Amino acid sequence: MQLWFLRALPHRLWLAPLAGLLWLAPAAAQAQPDSTPSAGTAVTRHLQQSEQLLPIDPVAAQLQAEQALHLAAVSGPPTDVGAAYLAIGEALQARQQHEQALVYFRRGLRLYQKLRSAPGRARALRQLARAQHLQGDTGQAYDTYRQALRLTQRLRDPAGLAQVHTQLGDLYGAQGQWARALSSYERAYSDWQQARNLPGQAAALNAIGLAHHRLRNYSRALYYLRRSLNEALQLGDSTRTGEALASTGQVYEEVGNYEVAMTFYTQALSTLPLQTPPARRAAGLQVLAVAQDSLANRPAAIRALQRALPLARRGGSVVQISKIYQTLSDLHRREGSYEAALQAQLRYAGLQDSVFAAQRSAQIAELQTRYETEKKEREIQLLTKDQQIQTANLRRQMLLRNGLAIGTLLLLLAVVALYRGRREQARVNRLLQRKNRAISRQKEELGRLNRTKDTLFSIISHDLRSPLSSLYSMFSLLALGTLPPERMALHTERLKRTLDVTLRLLDNLLNWSAAQMQSDKISPERVHMPVLTEEALALLLGDAERKSILFLTELPDSCIVCADVNMVRLVLRNLVANAIKFTPEGGTITIAAKPVQGQWEISVADTGLGIRPEDFPKIFGEGGHHSTLGTANEKGTGLGLRLCKDFVERNGGRITFESSLNKGTTFRFTLPAAEMETLPLLPPGPPATIAAAG
């Protein structure tokens, strides 16, 4: 923080080196210890002595800090080693050896980082940044200050934050950015208030007043400097009292009130503590000399500079000594003391080489600082532009990605919707197909039922009415009693055959009706086909004897099927009856069986008339009601073969036929073969009363 910032009037000498000296006051004027080593140890005592000697004798302060480092390295904790590194760096910095100071500050920072000590790391960063600032590397100093600020904010250390904001204000002030410096000083004052640190508040008020001074807000500058002076007086702090007095005098000098300014400068010099460095005392006397000269009190100004000269020699600043001789030469010349003016001028000229070298070094450092600052600013601008470009690219990429994601999502939703729509449509189509198939089956069933109904009514209206009419006529003749016995016997035999056909018709109708009502219900059993065949032949033996037809059976005893016994019995009876009907007298009917791929194939072959090819489609009644007279003019019902086909298929078989005209016909049907252990062998029941169709 600036202690006394000196600016002479335009017609006076500009004390640039002096101003630079007074701008950067020692950190002890404002810093508060924040990483104290272990109390009561020898290391602590050496570090405390180093801190006390720092503003008076930096060399002695460095020796004390080095002794503390030696002791801490031998027996102290690692945190004491870090504190010793920082103390040595402060002493080297006070001796203007900034490069060496940076080395020790970095050592302390690395140690605290290794120890993971956040408070120590924050303190090391603050001191490292200040050293970089003093060396002229303001860009790097700013970056280090920002690191220290972030770390101290995480620590919630108001005193540490106040120090960082104060040092940032000094950095902005050195760059002429007084508005930013003022903002930093105000933040520092707020942090000192939060930390309840009254010396820090007094120093911050002084810095705020100086910032207003540089911004030409003189009334506000005097207001804050007065507050700083009052707080320093209450604390009894001579250092801060002198700072406030000198800063107030500077404001009055700026507005042209030299008498008041000289009063404040004089008071400031009188309040300086004994441990004030000689160079700072000499600078105060130089300021006082400028004020005396402004009041045309040249003798007093000369006396002040003569008092400052030995102090400047003790301080070791060649630039300060040269400026004092130059000012003395000017004052003696204007007083008419030309010999003294010549001596001072000669001394000034003798120091010019050293001063020129120092000024040249200072100018080079300043130019380098400006170059580094401008370079860093350009780099920051380029980085900012790059960041903006990257941000814009990222934004575009994000928008593109989001657009693609939304488009993909919408496309996926559309695909899912289409897929679900297609699935729903396929489901509806399958349902419609099932419905259509069901409707088709129902239509076919309805057509079949209609055909069956027509067939049934045709049979009832014709085949049942004719025998009943004959029976009625026969009974009428019997009632008249006019028929001779011979004719009566003839009519009785004819009527018997007619009634036999009618009985068979009724049996087939009843079985067919029962089958239609039971739909696909069957009762499979193990059926011994040779026995069932003998039963069917026994029932039809009378019809065969009337036509002298020979029965031949070729069924092995192993011919056992799994089927509904009643249905198989009816199939055999109808097929044998049908063969008798179309076989002429003296013919042969052969019933045989053979195994075929897990089934038994039963065949009924005759040597009858055969079937005409054009009648093949009508055999099983699929083309409508069909009936043909037998070889002895036997009538048929037209239901027998249809019933055979239905019953065979219900039992899992298939019925076929082959025929040659005038050579005979063979009907074959298959039934599943029965396993030996599947069902018990049931003997055939008593002969059924179902007559074979003729």
Distance CA 640, CA 508 (A): 7
295 within 8 A of 259, measured Cβ to Cβ: yes
Tell me if 665 is assigned to some domain.
Answer: yes
Tell me if 259 is assigned to some domain.
Answer: yes
pLDDT given for residue 265 in this prediction: 82
Domain of 674, CATH number, reads 3.30.565.10
Tell me the two tokens of residue 259. 């008498």
Burial of residue 549, with CB atoms counted within 10 A of its CB: 0-12 exposed, 13-18 middle, 19 or more buried = buried
| Full residue range of the structural domain in which residue 203 is found | 197-276
AA identity, residue 519? S
Question: What is the tally of structural domains in the chain?
Answer: 2
Pick the last residue of a domain from 248, 276, 304. Answer: 276
Average pLDDT score over residue span 658-682:
80
Tell me if 449 is assigned to some domain.
Answer: no
Tell me if 553 is assigned to some domain.
Answer: yes
Q: Return phi, psi of residue 659, to 5°.
A: -150, 145
Domain of 222, CATH number, reads 1.25.40.10
Q: Return phi, psi of residue 5, to 5°.
A: -100, 120
pLDDT given for residue 455 in this prediction: 61
Distance CA 527, CA 559 (A): 9
Greater confidence (274 vs 183) lies with 183
**Total-model pTM:** 0.48
Distance CA 544, CA 641 (A): 19
Report pLDDT digits (tens) over 368-386: 655 665 676 677 678 778 8
Tell me if 443 is assigned to some domain.
Answer: no
Task: Look up tokens 């402060």; give the residue.
Answer: 90
- The confidence band for 17, taking pLDDT boundaries of 50, 70 and 90, is very low
Count other Cβ atoms within 10 Å, centred on residue 95.
15
Tell me if 450 is assigned to some domain.
Answer: no
Report pLDDT digits (tens) over 273-310: 776 778 777 887 888 888 778 777 888 888 888 888 88
Pick the last residue of a domain from 255, 276, 297. Answer: 276
SS3 527: strand
Average pLDDT score over residue span 249-254:
86
Tell me if 640 is assigned to some domain.
Answer: yes
206 bridge partner residues: none
Average predicted confidence (pLDDT) for the chain: 79
AA identity, residue 167? Q
Count other Cβ atoms within 10 Å, centred on residue 536.
27
Pick the last residue of a domain from 276, 291, 308. Answer: 276
Tell me if 454 is assigned to some domain.
Answer: no
**Dihedral sign (CA 618, 621, 623, 624):** positive
- The confidence band for 312, taking pLDDT boundaries of 50, 70 and 90, is confident
487 within 8 A of 452, measured Cβ to Cβ: no
- The confidence band for 589, taking pLDDT boundaries of 50, 70 and 90, is very high
